[in-house]
Every structure is written in structure tokens, then in C-alpha cells.
Amino acid sequence: MDVAPDRVGDRPHRGDDADRGERRRHRGPLLEADEQDEQRHDDDPAADSEERTEEPGDEADEYERHGRIVRAVSALTRLAEAPDRAAILLDVDGTLAPIVQRPDEAAVPEEARRELGRLVERYALVACVSGRTGEDARRLVGVDGVRYVGSHGLELAPEADRWRDEIHRFASTVDWPVEDKGLTVSFHYREAENEDDALEYLEEVAERARTAGLVPRFGRKVLEIRPPVQADKGTAVTQLLEEAGLKRALYAGDDTTDLDAFRALDGLELGVRVAVSSDEAPDELVSAADIVVDSPAELLALLQRL
């Protein structure tokens, strides 16, 4: 992909979090209707029209939302009809594992592990593409048969390794607790006493990283410093699908870096983009998604349809 990594998601989302949460609560999950609901509306347009006249101001939005639900259900059905031709690709933190205060406290629920095991038996490829190292993602998810790719896809880029020492030298100059991810380092501010002060400091760190030739990227309450290598979750998804010879895939994620993976599904025979939404999720991710769910638990319910 020809995407400049230091220009995609390199700033924190500083909008009104309360307003964003209120908008998302009104929006609701995209797949709240089931197939019987869709069939009822498709077979009875008069009833659908009558319902929509009750809220004339929302008619266009409701009609579009209904259409998106129908398309989403259709895409999931097509994917599940030929699992030997498709891949299920998933982020880990915030997608399979709920977000927690400290990354080392994260856990993938046992029910989600069992579901991944079932998907491994059905689909041609099941992979976790994580910001953690591949080894750490494997430890956290703990399901055999899943392909684990870490460091946002950098582990598939051999040229990234030569920046390892430079990134760690830079991290040693930052007066902030650091999470060492091998090919990247992260500075979390979820537990900061004053988030505004924390962001101001980390924005200065990000600017110093750019000056040093490194790539800063803000995500959900975190600043990550990456090597200047054209590799991301999108290039990882593309490589995984090409290696497996697959042109159908579902990808689910919750943060800025997952936008790269969404774009990697462009041009496939069938691509399904799932955003796991929250008050912290970037608006761009929700807008780019084919399906929106409101939590890892809702994602699990969606995966159980496959």
C-alpha cells in the first residue's frame, strides 16, 4: 500500500468524548435486526413505509440504515456459505479482549477462545493481527491453528528489525513509562492524572520522534513509536491473503491502525469490515465499516453467525 505512515492516525482524537459517546448510543449496533426482521421488511414495504412515517425527520437515515443492515446480513451469509474460500482476521485488544487499564491485565474470554477454535475448523484462514508482538498475542489468545502476526504487521517486514535499537534508544530519552513491543514502543496515558497535560507532553514526544526519523501514531489513550517502514496491518492482511490464495475476508478492529486493514480489503471478491465501536474509537473507523458492533461481546455474537 502506498500510504505515508506518519500521516495516518498520527494525532490523538481530541473531540468532545461525551458528544461522540452520545452520538454512538443513538446510533446503536448495525446488526441489531435478524434475518426474519429483514425478510419481514422486504416482503411488506407498505408496513415499512408506515413505520417510517412515524418519524418523518429520520426517514432518510432510517432507510439508509435498514439498507446497510440488509447488505451486512447478505455479506455475512455469503462469507459463511463458502468458508473454505475465506479468511477471518481479527485485532486482539479492544476487539477480542476488552480494553483494560493496563495492557498486561487484558484477557480473551474463554467463550471467545472456543469460538475461535470452531472458526479454525471451518475457515481456510483465521489470523490475529495485533499491536502486541506475535508471541504475546499467541499467549493472550491461546488458540492453536490461529496465525499470529504482531507489531501491526511489522513482523512480516524484515527491514523493520534494523530500527529496533534506534527505537529503544529514543524511548530511553522519554520520561514516561514505556511498553516495549520489540519493533515498536508505546506510551500509555489511560491512567494519567491529567489527560490534557499527558497529551501535551506526548505530542512533544511525537514531534521529537518525527525529527529523529521515526513514526509516531496515536491510538486509544496511547502513543506508539514505529520504524519508518512501509508495513502496517494492511500490508499484513494483504500478505496473509495472498499466501493463502484467498479473495474473501472479514476483518474486525477497534482503533486507528485497523483502518489500514480495512483498506486492504478493497478490491477483494468479498470484504467485510467490522468496527468494534466505543466512546474512544476513531470516527473514521466507524464510518469506514460495513458493520458496527458496540463491544467485544457483540463481536463474539456476530462471529457465532459464521
Active site residues per annotation: 91
C-alpha span between 141 and 25 (Å, rounded): 29
In the beta sheet, which residues pair with residue 249? 87, 271
For residue 156 the three cell numbers come to 512480516
C-alpha span between 39 and 93 (Å, rounded): 35
* Dihedral sign from CA coordinates of 85, 91, 94, 98: positive
For residue 39 the three cell numbers come to 425478510
* Dihedral sign from CA coordinates of 133, 142, 88, 273: negative
For the beta sheet containing 86-90, the strands, ordered from the edge strand earlier in sequence to the opposite edge, are 147-149, 125-129, 86-90, 248-253, 270-276, 291-293
C-alpha span between 177 and 187 (Å, rounded): 6
C-alpha span between 288 and 186 (Å, rounded): 26
C-alpha span between 205 and 254 (Å, rounded): 24
- The residues, ordered by sequence, that sit 6+ positions from 176 with a Cβ below 8 Å of its Cβ are 187, 201, 202, 205
C-alpha span between 284 and 99 (Å, rounded): 19
C-alpha span between 298 and 101 (Å, rounded): 21
| Bridging pattern class, strands 215-219 and 222-226 | antiparallel
Q: Which amino acid is at 103?
A: P
